[in-house]
A and B are shown apart, each in its own frame.
Chain A
Amino acid sequence: MTSQTLQKVDHSVLKTNQIIIITLNILAFILNQWWLAAFVALMMGIGSALKVPGFGFVYKSILRPRGWMKPDVLDDNPEPHRFAQFLGFLFMTGGSVALFLGSIVLGWSLVWLVVALAALNAFGGFCVGCAVYYWLVRLNLPGFSKQPPAGTFPGMKPKASANV
């Protein structure tokens, strides 16, 4: 393991973001509204550009101030999570474009793939996009430099609270 400096990452923001993505995507499927999937893609894209979770504002402006969700601050790298969101944005964009062009199976498959990965992250604590990021680090790809927190399998949620 390395002696890299980790940052405080509030996993409650990430979880909120994932749950909203899951909910909106399932709604888009049930209501058969491709534009709703495109909206999710847009928010993930904006989030990727601003280096924040796309729907993180819901947590910061509604859930946390009202005490409906508590911070879950862990020592972690934010970069893999940003990369994971960017990957999700690519899948969602691909899915939305496919739906717009009438490729229903491909479009909804991509949307459901994002739902599955977001659910695995939100409820299983495993971030596939982060695992891909750490895998790219091992391949010495430029721009990918962070190591997983000590004692944590690449992509798994770190278990130690930053304030422990």
Chain B
Amino acid sequence: MSTEILLRFGYAVGIIVLGLLAYWLIHQHLLVRARNNVSALFTQLPNKPVIVYFTTPDCAPCKTIQRPALNKLSSLMGDKLEVVEIDATQRPDLAKQWGVMSVPTTFLLDARGNARYVNNGVARVEKLMQQLRTL
């Protein structure tokens, strides 16, 4: 009886690990997709970290939380950071290319233009700062 439970526990762990792996792969896929489409945004890389921020005009949390957070971050980092804002209603092609499903969505690119983080939903200053430190 206990052997069967242990075996089934092992199966359960295996299934959960496979599920997590699938989730991680999808996340990585989004980052790879972003990396492949950086050239659509820049003719020349700015050689500093970039936050690509997808928004829409009627997105309330973008106005009340995400935009102020990015403004604060910009004032803290000055010339060391570039924020690129994209209106997904004006550029649906870019939103589709980058795999954006909701707004706000922020992608963090390192100085070489590699997409390193993606935040689906509001990302507060502390979180963005923490991510920027690792770039």
Number of A-B pairs whose CB atoms are under 8 Å? Answer: 56
CB-CB < 8 A to B15: which residues of A?
A: 112
The distance from the CB of B9 to the nearest CB of chain A, in whole angstroms, is 5
Is A125 an interface position by the 8 A CB rule? yes
Complex contact B8–A164 (CB within 8 A): no
**How many angstroms from the CA of A116 to the CA of B22 in the assembled complex?**
11
The distance from the CB of A114 to the nearest CB of chain B, in whole angstroms, is 13
Among listed A40-48, A54-62, A76-84, A154-162, interface-contacting one: A154-162
Among listed B58-66, B69-77, B125-133, interface-contacting one: B58-66
**How many angstroms from the CA of A112 to the CA of B4 in the assembled complex?**
18
Is A153 an interface position by the 8 A CB rule? yes
Number of interface residues, chain B, beta carbon within 8 A: 25
Is A29 an interface position by the 8 A CB rule? yes
Is B19 an interface position by the 8 A CB rule? yes
By secondary structure, the B interface counts as helix
CB-CB < 8 A to A156: which residues of B?
A: 101-102, 120
Complex contact A151–B102 (CB within 8 A): yes
Complex contact A160–B5 (CB within 8 A): no
CB-CB < 8 A to A116: which residues of B?
A: 19
CB-CB < 8 A to B9: which residues of A?
A: 30
Complex contact A151–B19 (CB within 8 A): no
Number of interface residues, chain A, beta carbon within 8 A: 21
The distance from the CB of A115 to the nearest CB of chain B, in whole angstroms, is 8
6 contacting pairs across A/B (C-beta < 8 A): A125-B121, A151-B61, A156-B101, A159-B122, A160-B65, A164-B60
Chain A residues with CB under 8 Å of chain B are 1, 26, 29-32, 112, 116, 119-120, 124-125, 150-153, 156-157, 159-160, 164
Besides the contacts A30-B5, A151-B102, what 12 more A-B pairs have beta carbons closer than 8 Å? A32-B4, A120-B23, A125-B121, A150-B59, A151-B59, A151-B103, A152-B103, A153-B101, A156-B120, A159-B102, A160-B122, A164-B65
